[in-house]
Structure 1
Amino acid sequence: MTKKNFEEKNDSKSTVSKVVKGTSPSKIRGKFFKIKVYIGIAISLLVVAILASLLLFSPNAKKESNEAISSVAKKENTSKEAIDTSKASENEKKKEEEIQKLKEQLTSLDSKVSESEKLVDKLKEETAVPKLDIEALRNNDLSSLKGTWRTPSGKEFVINESSELYATGYRDGQKYESTYEITFSKGQGRRNSDTASFGLNPKGIPVGGGYMIAVPRGIVLESAGQYTDQSNTAEDRLVAGQSYPSMLTEPENVYYRVKPDTSKLEEEEKNLAQLQAEREAIKTSLESKEKKNNN
């Protein structure tokens, strides 16, 4: 193959020319049409992309986007505020209910405490043990003698407001009962200046009787010869008999005041103390909650 023949055979122009020469006009037009379509589509996509980019990064787009975000945030905040307000309202209502409940409890306790205090005062009055008032006794006021007096041997004196003494005891195994009228005796009071002496006159009987000495606690009766006071000087006492020495020889026949049963009073005092403690606790809690609620 000569050089000329080789160049002619491999020359591109010669090849294209041959292809063109070997291809029909209709096919050539079809190929160019497709190329134009592809180019048009590519240009359209590029334009859309450019416009989208411009819209996305334009001030108006950003503003609208920010407004949308702000609107969503505002709605969320409004919703949160509504929830918070609802919770606050619920908590406030709950606090008010608690305060109202405490007020009702306090009112109830005030009433109970008042009733208990009245009962305690009444029981104290009923169980009060008067102290012998020597000056009053010497002025014929026998109120401090009122009550029941009993000896260790079982004898009793019951003294009423009418200055009567109702005596019971046993003699030779037999129970006896007597009623005496109490009269103040000045002469017998000279022996013991801190005591008061009385005559005991049997009612309905013209003869008999004796006398009685009221001895306040802490006072020791004066000795009579070899006889000394052997009674319980820590208590108020009554001694009675026919003679002063005989009163000192029989300590088992000394009368001591019978103290009333105070168990009910003690029980009610404990109940009152408990009610007062509960009231104080409720009152403190109420004041604390009202203070917090006002702040």
Structure 2
Amino acid sequence: MDKLKAAVVIPTFNKKERLLLTLESFRYQTVSPDTFEVLLVDDGSADGTREMLQEWEGEFSLRYIEQNNKGRSAARNRGVEEARAELIIFCDDDMIAAPTFVEAHIAAHQERPCAAHGMIYNLPFLKFFKNPSTGEAYEELDGESLVLIRRYCIRKEEIKDISYIKSLSKKTLIEKNIASIFKNNLAQYQWLSFTGANSSCEKELLERAGMFDEGFGKAWGAEDFELGYRLYLQHTPFVYLEEGYNFHMMHARMDFQDALRKSNDKFYRMHPDKKIYFLPKLLSGEIKSIEEYKDYVNSHTINEYEGD
């Protein structure tokens, strides 16, 4: 217990095929296995996640916590509450962690408490597949057109070779913008880096900010940005990590635009800030760069936008 430095909190819901690869990636961390624990909070999965984990074995400490389906905010909060380490690292159940993932997050907090964001790469071809290892496709997406891209599937045995996985990945527009925010020291936008897929923060800071707002419920949305915004309001330093990177095993999301709008509406009602109100324009790619977005926010009023 004396060596335990970080707790990796992973909420999961009905993604056992991707989760298996996520857990596999924590076998190959550059820090000792007794340096961190993984808290897997199962938010009411009904796809055999529990049974899959009964057969899974790893060298690091994995604690499995079950709860009724309440949403990602509640699952992450449960993980923070149960964690035995002061440093909390957030990761999602569809991410492959680079070997330096845990080490980089721990190092970021050595000088002072902060909120740190690790670079996220996307694995775009995996979005067609229910099982990213076997190439089993989502029923609504299956077809002959997927035959050629099945070669980009990632088997468990390939997790160790991060260079191969990196060769299949690309940076998303939002990740490029997050990097630009830090490069240009746009402190008023650094809260956009607080994403549940790859962030870390001291438990004390999270508790002082009020933890994740469980009012976002089960819907996908802006609950991580919203907590990041509250951390920003309490003057938390933000840090960007290039070595604390991981890879998003993309998956089908048919309701992206609608879910984004609804969750951002709630976010704005909680914090009536123009930077939040116009945020869907940046996240959807309608506005491409953070510099262009900053200019847009400064030059438009909410009433003007609503009248378009």
What TM-score comes out, normalization by structure 1 length?
Answer: 0.20
What TM-score comes out, normalization by structure 2 length?
Answer: 0.19
Larger Rg: 1
Between 1 and 2, higher relative CO (CA 8 Å, sep ≥ 6) is seen in 2
Bigger share in strand? 2
